[in-house]
């Protein structure tokens, strides 16, 4: 049963939120030379709970709308499969999603009590956006924007929890982390194109069309690298942050793989795998660069 639940919360993808918090802590250490261990642990737990919530609720709503039954599941897309395979009931998944949302919000409420209105604003955005992500947000084609903002808010919130300071470098670094996550979401929506469109969902790939979407995919990657370079001159990243460019070969592989046949699910899988690897490596190396 544990393995089923780990599959349901997409434990591999929780790493994106762990990387976001890690960047926030790394920026805190860089700028203020101190980290509160208890606050750090609570931040990791709270953010992971909230991430698990959005994944569970996404599975629930995709199943209810018939999307999971219409799409071909891959290692990176098409849902977890726990509901179409009847490993869990929709009601159980929904309740679990709400419980994780409450647990994450409760930790956030603790930080609201000690840090005030700024954390309250960030937490309110998170709770509302998580609950409506799989319905109104994605239906409006705003999934990638939500994920990018979420990444930025996690980094900014992590730094604020530590020092009660709205640090510009945190917002800037958070934007890079957010774009990395949005890149993964964008490419992972390609295989679900037909299923999503048939069930009324409007992802960015559906709005643009697969051919156009594959052509603009490199913009996500170029933007992230450009922000790293620009941040050096602005004082928001460090010269050491250029180590994140070590992921360029993987990024190029993803771009070339997607461009070949953006309409073939089998051919897109290697592109998705490379995109996930590129995103994680770039994010981790960025965090490391802040503490060098």
DSSP code for 81: S
Please state, in angstroms and rounded to a whole number, the distance separating the CA atoms of residues 190 and 208. 11
Phi and psi at residue 14, in whole multiples of 5°?
Answer: -65, -20
| Helix boundaries (H) for the chain | 2-8, 15-32, 37-64, 67-70, 90-115, 117-132, 138-139, 143-163, 168-188, 193-198, 204-208, 210-234, 248-260, 265-291
Residue 271, pLDDT score = 93
Quote the pLDDT of residue 286: 98
Token readout for 131 is: 């609950």
Give the residue among 176, 116, 121, 127 at the shortest CA–CA distance from 149.
Answer: 176
What pLDDT, on a 0 to 100 scale, did the predictor assign at position 263? 80
- Count CB neighbours of 166 within 10 A: 11
Beta carbons within 8 Å of 46's beta carbon, 6+ residues apart? 103, 104, 107, 108, 111
pLDDT of residue 243: 98
pLDDT of residue 141: 85
Confirm whether pTM is higher than 0.75: yes
Residue 165: its pLDDT value, please? Answer: 95
Q: Tens of pLDDT along the chain (292 residues)? A: 888 999 999 988 899 999 999 999 999 999 999 999 999 999 999 999 999 999 999 999 999 988 877 788 888 888 889 999 999 999 999 999 999 999 999 999 999 999 999 999 999 999 999 999 988 898 888 999 999 999 999 999 999 999 999 999 999 999 999 999 999 999 999 988 888 888 878 889 999 999 999 999 999 999 999 999 999 999 999 999 999 999 999 999 999 999 887 888 888 999 999 999 999 999 999 999 999 9
Domains of the chain: 11-291 (1.10.600)
Cα 215 from Cα 259, distance rounded (Å): 7
Token pair of 50, please?
């909230």
C-alpha dihedral (79, 81, 87, 91), degrees to nearest 10: 30
pLDDT at 17: 96
Q: Please state, in angstroms and as integers, the Cα–Cα distance from residue 275 to each residue in 103, 154, 180, following that order.
A: 31, 21, 9
Residue 53, both tokens: 């919530």
């Amino acid at each position: 049963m544990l393995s089923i639940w780990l599959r349901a919360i997409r434990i591999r993808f929780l790493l994106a939120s762990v990387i976001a918090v890690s960047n926030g802590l790394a920026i805190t250490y860089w700028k203020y030379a101190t980290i509160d261990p208890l606050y750090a642990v609570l931040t990791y737990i709270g953010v992971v709970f909230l991430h698990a919530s959005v994944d569970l609720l996404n599975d629930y709503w995709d199943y209810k709308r018939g999307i999971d039954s219409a799409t071909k599941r891959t290692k990176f897309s098409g849902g977890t499969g726990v509901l179409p395979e009847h490993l869990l009931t929709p009601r159980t998944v929904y309740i679990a999603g709400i419980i994780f949302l409450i647990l994450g919000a409760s930790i956030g409420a603790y930080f609201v009590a000690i840090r005030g209105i700024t954390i309250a604003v960030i937490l309110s955005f998170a709770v509302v956006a998580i609950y409506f992500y799989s319905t109104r947000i994605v239906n409006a084609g705003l999934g990638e924007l939500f994920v990018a903002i979420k990444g930025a808010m996690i980094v900014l919130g992590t730094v604020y929890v530590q020092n009660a300071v709205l640090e510009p470098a945190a917002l800037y670094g958070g934007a890079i982390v957010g774009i990395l996550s949005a890149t993964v979401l964008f490419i992972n929506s390609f295989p679900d194109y037909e299923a999503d469109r048939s069930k009324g969902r409007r992802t960015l790939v559906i709005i643009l069309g697969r051919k156009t979407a594959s052509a603009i995919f490199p913009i996500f990657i170029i933007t992230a690298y450009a922000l790293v370079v620009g941040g050096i001159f602005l004082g928001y990243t460090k010269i050491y942050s250029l180590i994140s460019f070590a992921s360029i070969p993987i990024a190029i592989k993803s771009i070339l793989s997607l461009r070949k046949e953006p309409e073939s699910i089998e051919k897109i899988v290697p592109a998705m795998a490379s995109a996930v690897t590129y995103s994680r490596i770039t994010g981790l190396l960025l965090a490391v660069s802040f503490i060098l």
